[in-house]
Amino acid sequence: MGLPHHESAMHDQPDESVRRLWDSLDPCTLCPRQCKTHRRKGQTGFCDIGVEPVISSIGPHFGEESVLVGRGGSGTVFFAGCNMGCIFCQNFDISHHRHGQQVTVEQLARSMLELQDYGCCNINFVTPTHVTPAMAEAIKLARNNGLTVPTVYNTGGYDSVEILKLLDGFIDIYMPDMKYSDPKVAEELSAAPDYPQINREAVKEMHRQVGDLQTERGVATCGLLVRHLVLPENLAGSFEVIDFLTEQVSRKTAINVMDQYRPCYKAASHPPLARRPTKEEIQTVRQYAIQKGLNVLTD
């Protein structure tokens, strides 16, 4: 068996990548919004987060996909703030209201090691796009102090390819959302009309770095795992997402066709979102993904 992704790649992962990530913070070009605010000077952009990350919670989580949970749970780090503006966000208190506590890189690295000691089978960074400099530096510090479990980049999928390239070697498992296929829907629901194009390029870069999802004894060790949330009336463009994965990424792509949508936050302002998707809507998408040959997770 070959080296884990981070062990093979981190040999060549220079401090230069961490430095360039920090440089991208001021003016901020960390995500496709290109706010260009000076976060080191106290300015904030769309995500409304400054230099240091704000964390709402850290701990073992057993509600993720089974390939991420294992026996000890997924070691989740929930970052507050978000570069998406989803009107139906189920974690709006974290993403939009930014509830949490500011932490240093050293505190974050220490927490990662504590999660590993607890028995978590990975470190799962939830919504990390806007805090990648601190995340990458903390990963480097934690690995220098004994972190060996895989790292998971659990993102809304609105990520810059240029920044993702700087993360090559820091991340073992990429877990992006693929939310939309239609720019108009992406603008109405998440204030991101360029999301479909940006998201697809990001997913291709993630797959280039880590390949298809790999597991050992049923637990993910590296690779790409796509999440796709089925929305009512096919607002998410589910079939186009599946076609893209099979035609431009890999027919072996692991995908979780998610049925968890429920009206939250400001969903009532967009009437099609006022109901949950039907069982038929969900099953049709799942069956299409299976028919196209994707690795469709069953949980």
Which residues, other chains included, contact 114 with Cβ-Cβ below 8 Å and sequence gap of 6+? none
Alpha-carbon span 74 to 70, nearest angstrom: 8
Q: Per DSSP, what are the bridge partners of residue 153? A: 125, 174
| Cβ(81)–Cβ(54) below 8 Å | yes
Q: Return the axis-axis angle of helices 132-144 and 15-23, rounded to nearest 10°.
A: 160
Position 265 scores a pLDDT of 86
Position 6 scores a pLDDT of 56
157-183 confidence digits (pLDDT tens): 999 999 999 999 999 999 999 999 999
Number of domains composing the chain: 1
Which residues form the domain of 200? 5-296
The position carrying tokens 């430095």 is 19
Alpha-carbon span 125 to 123, nearest angstrom: 6
Q: Copy the structure tokens of residue 62.
A: 């057993």
Sign of CA dihedral 190, 192, 195, 197: positive
Alpha-carbon span 6 to 51, nearest angstrom: 26
pLDDT exceeding 70 applies to what percent of the chain? 95
55-92 confidence digits (pLDDT tens): 999 999 999 999 999 999 999 999 999 999 999 998 87
The residue among 45 and 2 whose pLDDT is bigger is 45
Helix, strand or coil, per DSSP, at residue 130: helix
Q: Copy the structure tokens of residue 232.
A: 């009512």
Measuring CA to CA, how many Å separate 61 from each of 17, 109, 116, 119? 30, 18, 13, 11
Residue 42's CB is within 10 A of a number of other CB atoms, namely 9
Is it the case that residue 298 has pLDDT exceeding 70? yes
Tell me the CATH number at 169: 3.20.20.70
Position 14 scores a pLDDT of 61
